[in-house]
Structure 1
């Protein structure tokens, strides 16, 4: 009886709490979108061309850095472009077409100064697999370049649409370990696939699963040809120059930049030396059939002779329908990952939506130049950054180098050995393989994401790149759903801590009662007063995880708190089927144990980690209140601390929380799915008459005071919601203030 009087007093007379927070209405929410349509359209159109924001400030200081970086990247992109065209099973000139369009178009739309667009190893490998599948399913109907340019157009158009619609946030659902995993697996796949070309071994499909290629390459070692004399020395020379320049740059810091540019020129130097050697050896050894003793590049058409309109017809698009999703995913994933990385390293922020627009335009326009799919290159972007690039305009300098190569160097390309290009590819993709230190970091930070990385690598090696991508994405999505559906929650106790080691002043904090290795084991953690439960939920409170919240709280209450109704005097026939209580013989002993437990008075929920709630979650909270009150057989107070969002406050008020309503007037259901009013004779909503709550579910607030009239003692949170508190300490004190004196 005393308890009922105390509770009635708290419900009728709201104590002046320590806190107050404004609420919001739908009108407040929609107000943020009110803007002049003309201004919105103008800002949107200007945002599509970031070059307009900085080109007017271009100066000679920037120009010198851009020229050096552009020339440096140009000397690398020419041999790499032709090499990656080989991976894509296309003639070498298509790699140069892709390189030219990528570096030219990107500078107009870029928000990253470092990224270099063009052919890359993973996309080239994927293109070769797409070409192989389409040509196998439709033999003789389309040629490889025709298929590749169509893939570039369709996937580029999709990425462009994603960027224009500002849907770039979808990329955030794929974590870094998943991207690293399929890139590592793809790099291994590419390197293994180039070994036969490096050694001159033929007679099997180098686009098969990686383990098949490894087995067949080992079997084919006795068939090694003279090509190995150009391939192996090239690979060894590339690594010697790279490692030697890195070592000398560290030993002689004064000449570090000189050694850097020597290392940059290693691809061009090795190709030049091996091309001269190839010309000296093969120029007089052409057979009657027109073949040479080693495989060489032979004729590379001068200029843009293969430029033509992309083939866009329903039959080809239908044949590519199953391959387009993976091509699109790789384009946007690899580019966004690279651009974000260099933005972090060099102190600027990229716009993911704008970067997707840049990739989309590059591939859509590139398909009209005979280009195959292109995206951001890690190795060339790193080279561009180290060369001192200042703006995206460096891409125009690189495009000039590609044009010079297309129109002036194609006769020399005739004698380039294929084995040397294979060595260039193997050396280039080595940087894409995650280092042991990086993999170990994945394990230390998140073992589950290490499993995702491993699954992506193994799937790519033992199956295909496409399967590796899908496995990495699906496992990442599964992990995200598991984490969302099974978040962590902790029952809290109080501890006293000092601000400084020498300070005598202490303050009260709340930490988990179960010491999980984070809290110092020597710290004494005191549980809340008997009858009070303090709980923190470490996730947004939404429909996938709301049942976990409900089950944890209800289970804890039934385990640690006194059951309000004495079941020893209730016959078995009158007991509920799902909770019959103790057996008749053990009822007395169970009641003795039950009487030793504290009577549940209040539950305090720390909302500091919760940023969103939905209808299902509030219904779960209502269910929790109903179940614990049924167990305690009386009204239980629910206190909420640190509500960060006015929308959460609004939702809780709609559920009958915070305003001090009694359980008889609180809603028992707010997420009704089926109409069954006839079962209880009335709507549960009809019984809900919240105190001081408007008909639209928003709590009333006093009129806003004049901004010039400030009161330093004004409450932070509205006094109309006495069970909402500014912080956890205040919430627990308020919950404990209603306890009987003996507690």
Structure 2
């Protein structure tokens, strides 16, 4: 009886323990999937709320004009930039682990999307001839049909990007970002800045040129703009240049006096409001032929299923956008996390970005990631948590629902100026070249390959070339490791490279007869086995006399055993 009682008690205790462990695992899984549950219940309202409100409003004020501008960069109607500045931010509040990055539209991703939709839905697909009786015999573009098609393409692309990012996150593929090294990313984003500036010249000058996509698109676009300069709209260029000067000035003031300003001067929203007022008051569109934003519908669109029939041609592009978007997000998230003493989960960030893109795409948004300029605003104005981003998105929602029509007279040249000024930081990355020349020639070549390939071949092919080249440099480094013969420095526990420290070795050598210490700084496998053998023979010649034992010391990570046969 006692034995049965003990066995029964043991089984009950084991069952209870399993239930407890299962509940703990379920709780841990829920907390890792919904990070908001780990911090919102403990949110210190008195200490954080005011800072988050100030930061959220400041970020929202910047997010509004950038949303309009980056939609134009994506070759979509401006209102879709506002949608993309609302839904993903709300979702990231629940699923993201970074407290300081600002999720939403970003220039590089918008440009990549624009390249895809222009390639798949060029103006030439939508030429129509005027109705009979018209004096115009030249075909014109059916803008409504073109924009509808481009929105459909952008939405499907965003859905695919979201799926890829979620799958990568669930499979714990966050490590793929390590192959997007800093020189590669900086060279790539500098090339993207060149693409963006060239694409915006037509809006800054007020000329009507075709938008190109694919290899050499920068060359074709620049050539088209230069050939059409005689048709420049003087009013457009004067307004655009005035905005450029003002925005550059406010950005310089914000950087120089950031410790003295309570909040940064909102230069972007100022030029948007003032230029919209001027455009409306002077009827710039009617009297001076200045291109304006045009119709901005009020309210949010109902959810709809993406047109998956468009999917086949977008698969390769979606991988490029997904990888670049994650790389931008995780790199900036890690910077802020290190600065403020918390950690971010790379795999959860992949899942969060994937959910933001996937779910939001059903509400007609395009792909998003974090923006460096907005993130700096959110952090510098005192943002403490994701609540700041959420409050900023509510400001965008207010505009979409209530006052979007106010921005219909906004000149497009103003949005082009906003985009260009926000890229100044990327052009400063040219300073990397002399620094890398002094520190690492291989990293310099990676930077240059990423830049040149992305400028000439386009961002999608350029990224593929740069990533392939970066991986080849890894192979090259493993096949060309440093090797040396180490010598014991007398009366110490030190061993030095006898060639590199030749004078020290001659003076304090303590060599042991019959022993050589060979250092090979790499794993040994089939690709470098011949190098290992040849280097070993070279380093230990001439052969040691009267030696019975030769001992070799390696820094081994792993060894391909077949090289010894």
Query: TM-score, normalization: structure 1?
Result: 0.67
Match of 1:73 in 2: 59
Q: Partners of 2:232 and 2:358 in 1: how far apart? A: 41
Counterparts of 1:628-643 in structure 2, within 5 Å, are none
Counterparts of 1:234-633 in structure 2, within 5 Å, are 234-247=243-256, 249=257, 256-258=260-262, 260-262=263-265, 265-282=266-283, 286=286, 293-305=289-301, 307-313=302-308, 315-496=309-490, 507-515=492-500, 519=501, 524=507, 526=509, 528-557=511-540, 559-561=541-543, 597-607=544-554, 609-610=555-556, 612-614=557-559, 616=560, 618-620=561-563, 623=564
Does the CA-based 8 Å contact 2:484-2:539 persist in structure 1? no
Q: Which moves more between the two structures, 479-488 or 209-218?
A: 209-218
What's the secondary structure of 1:606's corresponding residue?
A: coil
1:492-529 per-position Cα deviation (integer Å, ceiling 9, x unaligned) = 11224xxxxxxxxx5231111111xxx59556462733
Residue 28 of structure 2, aligned match among 32, 43, 55:
43
Q: Partners of 1:550 and 1:522 in 2: how far apart? A: 28
What's the secondary structure of 1:117's corresponding residue?
A: strand
1:359-384 per-position Cα deviation (integer Å, ceiling 9, x unaligned) = 00000111011000111111111111
Match of 1:116 in 2: 102
Q: Partners of 2:275 and 2:422 in 1: how far apart? A: 18
Greater per-residue helix proportion: 2
Does the CA-based 8 Å contact 2:483-2:520 persist in structure 1? yes
Match of 2:229 in 1: 221
Match of 2:136 in 1: none
Does the CA-based 8 Å contact 1:94-1:372 persist in structure 2? yes
Higher relative contact order (CA 8 A, sep 6+): 2
Q: 1:547 to 1:373 in 2, by over 3 A?
A: same
Q: Partners of 1:358 and 1:181 in 2: how far apart? A: 26
Q: Partners of 2:468 and 2:411 in 1: how far apart? A: 41
Q: Partners of 2:430 and 2:204 in 1: how far apart? A: 26
Q: 1:320 to 1:535 in 2, by over 3 A?
A: same
1:214-233 per-position Cα deviation (integer Å, ceiling 9, x unaligned) = 33333332221021122110
Q: Partners of 2:123 and 2:82 in 1: how far apart? A: 29
Match of 2:12 in 1: none
1:590-642 per-position Cα deviation (integer Å, ceiling 9, x unaligned) = xxxxxxx52343333334x43x214x2x333xx3xxxxxxxxxxxxxxxxxxx
Does the CA-based 8 Å contact 1:107-1:396 persist in structure 2? yes
Confirm or deny that 1:199 pairs with 2:205: yes
Q: 1:367 to 1:521 in 2, by over 3 A?
A: farther
Give the number of aligned pairs: 521
Q: Partners of 1:443 and 1:533 in 2: how far apart? A: 36
- 1:318 positional shift: 1.1
Match of 1:693 in 2: none
Match of 2:219 in 1: 211
Q: Partners of 2:430 and 2:123 in 1: how far apart? A: 40
Q: Which moves more between the two structures, 142-151 or 197-206?
A: 197-206
What stretches of structure 1 of length at least 5 have no aligned partner? 1-34, 497-505, 562-596, 624-668, 670-743
What's the secondary structure of 1:369's corresponding residue?
A: coil
Q: 1:109 to 1:520 in 2, by over 3 A?
A: farther
Counterparts of 1:685-700 in structure 2, within 5 Å, are none
Does the CA-based 8 Å contact 1:182-1:460 persist in structure 2? yes
1:636-655 per-position Cα deviation (integer Å, ceiling 9, x unaligned) = xxxxxxxxxxxxxxxxxxxx
Match of 2:137 in 1: none
Q: Partners of 1:548 and 1:457 in 2: how far apart? A: 33
Q: Partners of 1:191 and 1:345 in 2: how far apart? A: 32
Match of 1:126 in 2: 112
Does the CA-based 8 Å contact 2:518-2:552 persist in structure 1? yes
Match of 2:142 in 1: none
Q: Partners of 1:204 and 1:175 in 2: how far apart? A: 34
Q: Partners of 1:236 and 1:120 in 2: how far apart? A: 22
Q: Partners of 1:602 and 1:40 in 2: how far apart? A: 55
Q: Partners of 1:355 and 1:294 in 2: how far apart? A: 42
Q: Which moves more between the two structures, 238-247 or 378-387?
A: 238-247
What stretches of structure 2 of length at least 5 have no aligned partner? 1-19, 127-144
- 1:298 positional shift: 1.6
Q: 1:200 to 1:165 in 2, by over 3 A?
A: same
Query: TM-score, normalization: structure 2?
Result: 0.87
- 1:279 positional shift: 1.1
What's the secondary structure of 2:522's corresponding residue?
A: coil
Q: Partners of 1:294 and 1:520 in 2: how far apart? A: 73
- 1:268 positional shift: 0.5
Does the CA-based 8 Å contact 1:533-1:602 persist in structure 2? no
1:390-409 per-position Cα deviation (integer Å, ceiling 9, x unaligned) = 11121220121011111222
- 1:267 positional shift: 0.3
Confirm or deny that 1:100 pairs with 2:86: yes
Q: Partners of 2:409 and 2:175 in 1: how far apart? A: 47
1:157-177 per-position Cα deviation (integer Å, ceiling 9, x unaligned) = 110111112121122122111
- 1:299 positional shift: 1.2
Q: Partners of 1:425 and 1:354 in 2: how far apart? A: 30
What's the secondary structure of 1:604's corresponding residue?
A: coil
Confirm or deny that 1:185 pairs with 2:194: no
